């Protein structure tokens, strides 16, 4: 049986990823509040926050994003929540490759502004 967001267990290990290119405004706090609120509102208490503040999304070589990917590779993450997919990268090919890698590792992706839940093997709308 495929897992759905409504029946992912509360013990799901969730990564909350936030990124803004320009440091010094309240955008990162707003993003953090949004993804944390979603996680808590859906009963996820086992989450880690990964923040790249003042870091461009042009390169995938970002401190928190690299840490997130290491944790995914080490099987420490079951789902990733982002405000929107542009927080991951602005390059659509890199984004597609990254999402494919999540699918192969069985990691779900939730993008709030894009209204997408990628449950590793299928997409559904929020």
What whole-number distance in Å separates Cα of residue 33 and Cα of residue 90? Answer: 22
- Average pLDDT of the segment spanning 98-124: 75
CATH number of residue 110's parent domain: 3.40.50.1390
Q: What is the pLDDT of residue 78?
A: 92
The token pair that represents 41 in the structure block:
């509102």
pLDDT for the residue numbered 23: 75
- Mean pLDDT across 62-77: 95
Q: In this model, does residue 1 exceed pLDDT 80? A: no
pTM: 0.83
The whole domain housing 16 covers 5-125
pLDDT digits (tens, 9 = 90+) for 71-84: 999 999 999 999 99
- Residue 126: pLDDT above 80? no
What's the chain look like in SS3? Answer: CCCCHHHCCCCCCEEEEEEECCCCCCHHHHHHHHHHHHHHHCCCCCEEEEEEECCCCCCCCCHHHHHHHHHHHCCCCCEEEECCHHHCCCCHHHHHHHHHHHHHHCCEEEECCCCEEECCCCEEEC
- pLDDT tens-place string over residues 17-55: 999 988 777 899 999 999 999 999 988 888 999 999 988
Give the number of domains in the chain.
Answer: 1
More confident residue, 5 or 76: 76
pLDDT recorded at residue 87: 93
Is residue 116 pLDDT above 50, yes or no?
A: yes
């Amino acid at each position: 049986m495929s897992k759905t967001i409504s029946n992912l267990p509360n013990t799901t290990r969730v990564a909350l990823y936030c990124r803004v290119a320009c440091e010094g405004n309240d955008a990162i706090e707003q993003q953090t509040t949004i993804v944390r609120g979603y996680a808590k509102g859906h009963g996820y208490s086992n989450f880690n926050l990964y923040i790249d503040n003042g870091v461009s999304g042009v390169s995938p070589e970002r401190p928190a994003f690299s840490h997130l990917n290491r944790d995914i590779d080490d099987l420490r993450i079951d789902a990733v929540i982002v405000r929107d997919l542009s927080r991951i990268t602005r390059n659509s090919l890199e984004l597609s490759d990254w999402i494919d890698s999540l699918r192969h590792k069985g990691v779900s992706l939730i993008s709030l502004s894009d209204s997408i839940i990628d449950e590793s093997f299928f997409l559904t709308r929020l």
